[in-house]
Chains A and B, each alone.
Chain A
Amino acid sequence: MIVAREVDLHVGGRVLLQGMTFDLRPGELVAILGPNGVGKTTLLRAMAGTRDVDAGTLRIGDDDVARVTPGDRARRIAFMASDDLFGEHLTVRDVVAMGRYPYHRWWQWHEDRDDDIAIERALDAVRMREFERRAFATLSSGERQRIWLALGLAQEAPLLLLDEPTSHLDVRVAHAILALLRDQVTAGKTIVSVLHDLNEAAEFADRIMLLGCGRVLAFDTPHDVFASGLLEDAYGVPMETMRSPSGALRVFPRLRG
Chain B
Amino acid sequence: MAFRLAGLAMVAVLAALASLLVGGTPLALHDVLHALAHPRARGDIATIVWQLRVPRVCIALVVGAALAVAGALLQGMLRNPLVDPSLIGVSSGAAAAIVFALVLGVAAPLVPAVGFVAGIATAVLVATLARRGAGIDVNRLILAGVSLSSFFAAIIATVLTRSRDADYSTAIIAWLAGSLAGRGWHDLGFAAPYAIAGLLLALLSVPALNALRLGDVRAAAVGVNVDRAQWMILAGSSLLAASAVTLSGTVGFVGLIVPHIARRIVGSDTRNVVLASIGIGAALTALADAASRTLIAPAELPIGVLLAFIGVPTFLYLYLHGGASTR
Contacts and interface: CB of A to CB of B under 8 A. Distances in A.
B252 to A, nearest CB: 26
A81 B217 contact: yes
A108 B223 CA distance: 14
B299 interface: no
A78 B221 contact: yes
A133 to B, nearest CB: 13
Interface string B285-327: 0000000000000000000000000000000000000000101
A74 B219 CA distance: 10
B137 interface: no
Interface in A131-184: 151, 155
Contacts of B204: 106
Contacts of A74: 221-223
B327 A98 contact: no
Interface in A63-114: 69-71, 73-75, 78-81, 84, 86-90, 94-95, 98-99, 101-102, 104, 106, 108-110
Contacts of B207: 101, 104, 106, 108-109
A81 B206 contact: no
Given A84-B215, A101-B207, A89 B221 contact: no
B135 to A, nearest CB: 12
Contacts of B206: 109
A101 B217 contact: no
Interface residues of B, number: 22
Nearest to A108: B207
A93 to B, nearest CB: 11
B131 interface: no
A112 B97 CA distance: 48
Contacts of A106: 204, 207
Contacts of A104: 207
A108 B206 CA distance: 10
B224 interface: yes
A200 to B, nearest CB: 23
B220 interface: yes
A70 B271 contact: no
A102 B223 contact: yes
Interface string B31-72: 000000000000000000000000000000000000000000
A95 B269 CA distance: 11
B214 interface: yes
A50 to B, nearest CB: 5
Contact of B222 (A69, A99, A109, A110): A99
Contacts of B268: 89-90
Contacts of B140: none
Contacts of A95: 214
B150 interface: no
A32 interface: no
A110 B271 CA distance: 9
A122 interface: no
Contacts of B224: 70, 101
Interface residues of A, number: 31
A48 interface: yes
B319 to A, nearest CB: 15
B218 interface: yes
A75 B218 contact: no
B222 A88 contact: no
A222 to B, nearest CB: 28
Nearest to A77: B221
Contact of A81 (B221, B269, B327): B221
Interface string A118-140: 00000000000000000000000
A109 B221 CA distance: 18
Contact of A70 (B218, B220, B325): B220
Contact of B269 (A78, A94, A108): A94
A109 B225 CA distance: 16
Contacts of A108: 207
A110 B272 CA distance: 10
Contacts of B214: 86-87, 90, 95, 98
Given A104-B207, A109-B206, A79 B213 contact: no
B211 interface: yes
18 contacts: A48-B221, A69-B225, A70-B224, A73-B223, A74-B221, A74-B222, A80-B221, A86-B213, A86-B327, A87-B215, A89-B325, A90-B213, A90-B327, A94-B269, A98-B222, A99-B222, A101-B222, A151-B218
Interface of B: 204, 206-207, 210-211, 213-215, 217-225, 268-269, 271, 325, 327
Nearest 6 pairs of A and B residues by beta carbon: A74-B223, A102-B223, A86-B215, A79-B221, A71-B223, A89-B268
Given A74-B223, A89-B327, A102-B222, 7 more contacts: A69-B225, A70-B223, A89-B268, A95-B214, A98-B214, A98-B218, A151-B218
